[in-house]
Structure 1
Amino acid sequence: MSTHIPLAAFRSRDFRLLWFGNFVSLTGTEMTRAAVSWHILELSGGDPLALGAIGAARLVPLVLLALGSGVLADAVDRRRLMLGAQIAMMLCSLALALTANLGLAALWVIYAVTALAAAANTLGLPARQALIPSLVPREHLAGALSLNIVAWQLATIVGPTIGGLLIERGGVGLVYWVDVVSFTAILVALLLMRPRPLAAEKRDISLQAAIEGLRFVWRTPLIWSTMLLDFLATFFSAATTLLPIYAQSILQVGPQGLGLLYAAPSVGAVIASVICSIWGAGNRQGPLLLWSVAIYGLSTAIFGLSTHFGLSLLMLAINGAADTVSMVVRGNIRNLETPDELRGRMVAVNMLFFAGGPQLGEIEAGVAARLFGTQLSVALGGLACVLMTGVVAAKVPILRNYTDGRRPAPATAPAAAD
């Protein structure tokens, strides 16, 4: 058994470039997400429906373009596709900055630009995720995925914090300009990278190519079962949707406590990501995935019933950590089990699962809370997640027996004695 080398993925020059550029750019993007929400709040006079429409502006392009983006990622140079997507997103931030500074901002403008930025991100995301296996050796892939999650989680903490300070000092326009500048980090990184080509065959951009990707996912239990687990977990355990109610009425900790509740999963996620990046995801990755999703559901259930602020924070931190371990293992299994020529389309199908689960989960959480009460609905959702994980474990033996990037070997008859 090979020894895991801590942070071994950083030995790759191209991965270091992509990681740093992506972290800087993501931080700018998270700043803009906070600024857009604040901007819409100001323009709409505090209308919550106007804020909710941001989600629709981001979701619709993803649903419409996801499969096509996967076909593109498998047919063209992924680094160049990422460059084009990042430039388009930078231009969207530039448009927001100019409209804010010139006093031309309007709700429809922000929604339109947000939708265009979401479309560009959707087109570039499969290429970015499919590119990583070409940057690091197979045995370092789990560590690389963990480090990517570290960058993402840190950006979700640092970005809004800096964004809030900048809004207070210079308004939303300043945040948009800083975001424009932040894109230079990822653009320079992509220009300096020299990823090794993995697939020599040129792929068509066609409906048949998209169907081929769907067929591959459907015929590969290890792939669709990890996607199903992702969907079920985010559908049944959408506790964060109801955090304002917990802060105001159940825990009675006010706005400051609400901020801590929102931050707790990210803290747990960062800790788990660092641990995974240093020590790896272990050998028994199938069982680890199933246990992490079960713990995710169980921690949600305990949080749902908790009336103590400290216990609630602990459960949310465990929730974030379990989700991160699950995310690392899912990504590792999917990348290792998918041929490079299909990897972009696999990521695109997965985008529909990880986008659909949280969005539908928010609706489910609201309806269940109305029918059963907030605490009971969250607890039942967490227990349903645990139950569904058990069902998947029972029905997909190849997943529960999956070890260290290898499918379980079939049993063989003992050799005859000489």
Structure 2
Amino acid sequence: MTVSTAKPFRSLAVRNFRLFAGGQVVSTAGTWLMIVAQDWLVLGLTNGSPTALGAVTALQFAPMMLLTLYGGRLADRHDKRTLLTWANVLSGILALALGLSVLADVVRLWHVGFFALALGVVNSVEVPARVSFVSEMVGPELLPNASALSAAYFSIARVAGPGLAGVLIGTFGTGWVMTANAVSYLATVVALRRMRPGELHRPRGAVGRARIVDGLRHVAERPDLVLPLGLLAVVSLAGLNFHVTLPLLASAVFHANVGAFGLLTSAFAAGSLLAALLTTVRTGRPAARTVVVSGVAFGLLEVAAGWAPGFVSAMVLLALTGFASIYFVQAVNHRVQLGSEPHYRGRVMALYTLIVQGSTPLGALGAGWLAEQYGTRSAIVVGGLISLATACGAAVFARRRTELPVAVGPAGG
């Protein structure tokens, strides 16, 4: 490894990725403005109902369960740059329509649910295309660094977006915030159209019909892919429900306003950002041990965050939990993406996306129900305990299969 390859921002030397990252920073910040605005709108329309918030979140992510594998098939068969362009255009139109309905004071809860569902359909194509497109922009050697930087700019947006949303919603209202998000999608569209297609690292060889079942078979035949994806599935379903629990933690537990909600979300995102920056130094495929240990750490920290006695301690523990969550998710991402064959990557990463985001409807409904019945803290603590138990079980299972001591390919932390 040369000194240059150890630089944390080395992927930004690639023009196409530099354009894409710049557009994504703006667009993702807008998305987090939208998330906070939508959550606060739902709570305002329903007098703070956790069930309604969970239902709207479930509607937005339900299409991920049904359509993401098909989206991965599209990503392997068609030009990812074109797919991403149209997906961002449609997302902008949907955000604009919802924002205008709020500004016109005609919005109802079912309107929010409808637009959330429609956006979920678009995301079921956009997300697997975007995740697998990273390797085409930078190539396999820079993939761990570029993937980590992608998580970093996403975390930067999560830090800036919620705090800014709290100020903007209090000043201008949710409608204008949603409209601002609609405009932010233009940054990604412009970046995509300014790329040089000839500099992309597209897989060689025809993929034929690019059947979904072939991608699933590829994963099933690889125990080193099944273990991290299985652990990710449980952690995503039970533990990664902060889009539901954080607004409830602010409003129901600490009886705070939208600004405090933004602070809690930003604290979580700040920890996520630090983890993303740390993983930029990764130069190879992480070992299975890295995946399992980071899963254990996440479960422990989420349990602690659920029992935080005060607002300040909650911010600190949420920052640590955010760190552990991104470190774990990135470890799974890198282990799976670098372990899969390039011509299957769209479908494999669609399965990864299905697990991360497609599990959200069930997780959101479960977290909302637990919060409604037993309180917000219970939803956080139970999610952490399930994640912790599953990670410990994965460690035992992996040791019996002699998976943990073995690193396939160049391994990194």
TM-score by length of 1: 0.83
* 1:154-233 matched pairs, under 5 angstroms: 154-194=156-196, 195-204=199-208, 209-233=211-235
Match of 1:413 in 2: none
Q: Distance in 2 between matches of 1:234 and 1:191?
A: 33
Contact 1:157 1:266 in 2 (8 A): yes
Q: Distance in 2 between matches of 1:136 and 1:291?
A: 29
Deviates more, 1:118-127 or 1:89-98: 89-98
Q: Distance in 1 between matches of 2:285 and 2:47?
A: 54
Deviates more, 1:2-11 or 1:163-172: 163-172
Match of 1:127 in 2: 129
CA offsets, 1:351-396, max 9 Å, x none?
2211355554556667778689939746643541442232343245
Q: Distance in 2 between matches of 1:12 and 1:144?
A: 10
Q: Distance in 2 between matches of 1:107 and 1:248?
A: 19
How far apart are residue 75 of structure 1 and its match? 0.3
How far apart are residue 184 of structure 1 and its match? 1.3
How far apart are residue 74 of structure 1 and its match? 0.3
SS in 1 for 2:407: coil
Contact 1:298 1:383 in 2 (8 A): yes
Q: Which amino acid aligns with 2:406?
A: N
Match of 2:82 in 1: 80
Q: Which amino acid aligns with 1:199?
A: P
Q: Which amino acid aligns with 1:384?
A: A
Mark the CA change 1:8 to 1:230 in structure 2 (over 3 Å): closer, same or farther.
same
* 1:16-415 matched pairs, under 5 angstroms: 16-194=18-196, 195-204=199-208, 209-237=211-239, 240=242, 260-277=263-280, 279-280=281-282, 285-304=287-306, 307=309, 313-361=315-363, 374=378, 377=382, 380-381=385-386, 383-398=388-403, 400-402=405-407, 405=410
Q: Distance in 2 between matches of 1:169 and 1:308?
A: 27
Q: Which amino acid aligns with 1:334?
A: V
Match of 1:411 in 2: none
Mark the CA change 1:121 to 1:363 in structure 2 (over 3 Å): closer, same or farther.
closer
How far apart are residue 266 of structure 1 and its match? 1.8
Deviates more, 1:213-222 or 1:391-400: 391-400
Mark the CA change 1:198 to 1:400 in structure 2 (over 3 Å): closer, same or farther.
farther
How far apart are residue 326 of structure 1 and its match? 1.9
Query: Structure 2: 5+ residue runs without aligned partners?
Result: none
Q: Distance in 1 between matches of 2:235 and 2:142?
A: 27
Mark the CA change 1:272 to 1:225 in structure 2 (over 3 Å): closer, same or farther.
same
CA offsets, 1:161-188, max 9 Å, x none?
3233333333333223212221111001
Q: Which amino acid aligns with 2:225?
A: I
SS in 2 for 1:183: helix
Deviates more, 1:59-68 or 1:83-92: 59-68
SS in 1 for 2:138: coil
Match of 1:414 in 2: none
Q: Which amino acid aligns with 2:9?
A: L
Mark the CA change 1:8 to 1:165 in structure 2 (over 3 Å): closer, same or farther.
same
SS in 2 for 1:397: coil
Q: Which amino acid aligns with 1:317?
A: A
- Cα RMSD between the aligned structures? 3.3
How far apart are residue 147 of structure 1 and its match? 0.9
Contact 2:234 2:390 in 1 (8 A): yes
SS in 1 for 2:7: coil
Q: Distance in 2 between matches of 1:365 and 1:237?
A: 9
Deviates more, 1:267-276 or 1:168-177: 168-177
Q: Distance in 2 between matches of 1:100 and 1:260?
A: 24
Contact 2:23 2:191 in 1 (8 A): yes
Match of 1:412 in 2: none
TM-score by length of 2: 0.84
How far apart are residue 259 of structure 1 and its match? 5.7
Mark the CA change 1:401 to 1:123 in structure 2 (over 3 Å): closer, same or farther.
same
Contact 1:72 1:205 in 2 (8 A): no
Contact 2:268 2:321 in 1 (8 A): yes
How far apart are residue 56 of structure 1 and its match? 2.3
Deviates more, 1:156-165 or 1:4-13: 156-165
Q: Distance in 2 between matches of 1:261 and 1:85?
A: 30
Q: Distance in 1 between matches of 2:310 and 2:109?
A: 40
Contact 2:95 2:178 in 1 (8 A): yes
CA offsets, 1:316-343, max 9 Å, x none?
3332212222222222222212222211
Q: Select the structure of larger CA radius of gyration.
A: 1
CA offsets, 1:17-56, max 9 Å, x none?
1111011111112212222233334444544443332112
